[in-house]
């Protein structure tokens, strides 16, 4: 058995040796090695091919996505009818007939005056551009310092060319009528077939994911359906209120083509963030060419409508539907517009809702998984 003094001497000698050895040895070299480089290359090529395919199939994908979205929006009506004792097939047929009847009535009574005002607006665009040119020249003569700020020739020429192009496009509208009708019919039947039998699609979606993720996927689908339906009800109500308010207000001010501008104001509500501003520009610019004082009243009208919408209508109607920051919605709108075209801008808010719900459910799933493992692995945990 070793003596305690020998052990103390050994410890006393060992520490200086270790320090000396550390100071003599060369610095440690860290080498980074990429594992499975061919797998990374394969997944990169696969992602590129997938994005290229999606870009080429933008039209069909957007069309079928719109059909699925409309089926989700119209599903509460079908459920309401089935709770009243109607079979689902009969409820879908009744809804289809109601949509066809509504379309026929709208095309008979509302579409002709709207087309007439659109033609009148397009035909008067060059004349109003010349008047706007004259008023801007007069303004530049009164205030010479504005000559460098306002390039009136470019503005007037762009407005006149835009009006002439619009007249040509309206005159050649019948050429695209066949494509529009075909797309509308395809969208209509996609919506009806999805409404008639949604369970196989849902089972197929759940079957794509492994068993441990199916409950989370079901929660995501249920939350998204509720969010989509609530957002659609709110945005349609806002479009109706804003469109009627703008049309009636412009008609009261004696503005020509008030019906067209009211429809534009209502549709502008569907475009996130910048839609209301863009929809207010056509009536203000056209009225400015005729009567600047009345244009100020038009601007005040749209400012009042936006004040009413932002501080009264949106808090009451939207409520707790989205809880999204406007910058995120604007970023999604710009991204969708660049990747999929202008019609995809309408899906900016649903896209943001989808990303948020998936992120929240994914974090919740992993949080509970980690918490359960922590509880089961803790020393004080007992099995019940």
- Chain segment 76-94, per-residue pLDDT in tens: 999 999 999 999 999 999 9
| Mean residue pLDDT across the chain | 78
What are the b/e assignments for 3-24, b being 16+ CB within 10 Å?
A: eeeeeeeeeeeeeeeeeeeeee
Which stretch of 107-121, 148-162, 227-241 has the lowest confidence by average pLDDT?
Answer: 148-162
Q: Is the pLDDT of residue 15 over 50?
A: no
Q: What is the pLDDT of residue 221?
A: 92
Q: According to the model, what pLDDT value does residue 144 have?
A: 64
Predicted confidence band of residue 25 (pLDDT cuts 50, 70, 90): low
Average pLDDT over residues 169-180: 57
Task: Considering only residues 272 and 100, tell me which one the structure prediction assigns the higher pLDDT.
Answer: 100
- Which conformational region is residue 87 in: left (phi greater than 0), alpha (psi within -120 to 50 degrees), or beta? beta
What pLDDT shows up at residue 264? 92
Summarised one tens digit per residue, pLDDT across range 327-351 is 888 888 888 888 777 778 888 888 8
CA distance linking residue 35 with residue 30, whole number of Å: 16
Please state the rounded mean pLDDT for residues 60-67: 85
- Using CA atoms, how far residue 163 sits from 82, 115, 129, 158, 305, in Å, is 50, 15, 9, 9, 27
Higher pLDDT, 39 or 158: 39
Query: What pLDDT is stored for residue 11 in this prediction?
Result: 47
pLDDT score at 194: 92
Predicted local distance difference test score (pLDDT) of residue 205 = 87
Integer Cα distance of 256 and 363 in angstroms = 54
Residue range 145-150: mean pLDDT, rounded: 57
Question: Residue 371 — pLDDT band, cuts 50, 70, 90?
Answer: low
**What average pLDDT does this structure show over 145-165?**
54
Could you count the other beta carbons within 10 Å of the beta carbon of residue 286? 23
User: What is the average per-residue pLDDT within 269-297?
Assistant: 87
pLDDT reported for residue 177: 60
| pLDDT over threshold 90, residue 98 | yes
Percent of the chain with pLDDT over 70: 74
SS3 148: coil
Task: Dig out the tokens for 172 from the structure.
Answer: 């050649």
Q: How far apart are CA 353 and CA 234, in angstroms?
A: 14
Instruction: Count CB-CB contacts under 10 A for residue 38.
Output: 7
């Amino acid at each position: 058995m070793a003596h305690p003094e020998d052990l103390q001497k050994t410890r006393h000698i060992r520490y200086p040796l270790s320090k000396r050895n550390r100071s003599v040895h060369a610095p440690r070299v860290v080498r980074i090695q990429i594992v499975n480089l061919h797998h990374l290359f394969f997944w990169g090529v696969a992602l590129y091919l997938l994005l290229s395919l999606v870009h080429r199939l933008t039209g069909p994908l957007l069309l079928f996505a719109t059909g699925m979205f409309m089926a989700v929006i119209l599903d509460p009506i079908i459920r309401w009818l089935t709770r009243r004792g109607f079979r689902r097939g009969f409820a879908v047929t009744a809804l289809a007939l109601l949509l066809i009847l509504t379309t026929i009535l709208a095309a008979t009574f509302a579409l002709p005056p709207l087309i007439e005002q659109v033609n009148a607006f397009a035909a008067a665009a060059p004349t109003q551009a010349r008047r706007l040119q004259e008023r801007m020249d007069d303004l530049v003569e009164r205030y010479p310092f504005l000559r460098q700020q306002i390039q009136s020739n470019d503005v007037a020429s762009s407005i006149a060319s835009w009006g002439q192009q619009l007249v040509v496009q309206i005159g050649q509208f019948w050429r695209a009528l066949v494509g529009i009708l075909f797309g509308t019919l395809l969208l209509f039947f996609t919506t009806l077939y999805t409404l008639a039998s949604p369970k196989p699609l849902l089972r197929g979606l759940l079957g794509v994911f492994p068993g441990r993720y199916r409950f989370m996927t079901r929660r995501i689908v249920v939350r998204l359906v509720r969010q989509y339906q609530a957002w659609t009800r709110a945005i349609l109500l806002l479009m109706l209120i804003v469109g009627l308010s703008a049309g009636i207000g412009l008609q009261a001010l004696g503005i020509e083509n008030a019906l067209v501008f009211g429809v534009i104001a209502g549709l502008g509500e569907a475009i996130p963030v910048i839609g209301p501003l863009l929809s207010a520009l056509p009536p203000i610019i056209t009225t400015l060419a005729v009567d600047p004082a009345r244009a100020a009243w038009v601007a005040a009208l749209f400012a009042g409508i936006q004040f009413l919408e932002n501080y009264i209508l949106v808090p009451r109607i939207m409520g707790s539907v989205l809880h999204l920051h406007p910058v995120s919605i604007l970023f999604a709108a710009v991204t969708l517009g660049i990747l999929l075209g202008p019609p995809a801008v309408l899906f900016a808010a649903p896209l943001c809702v989808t990303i948020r719900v998936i992120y929240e459910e994914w974090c919740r799933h992993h949080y509970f998984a980690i918490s359960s493992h922590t509880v089961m692995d803790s020393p004080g945990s007992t099995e019940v």
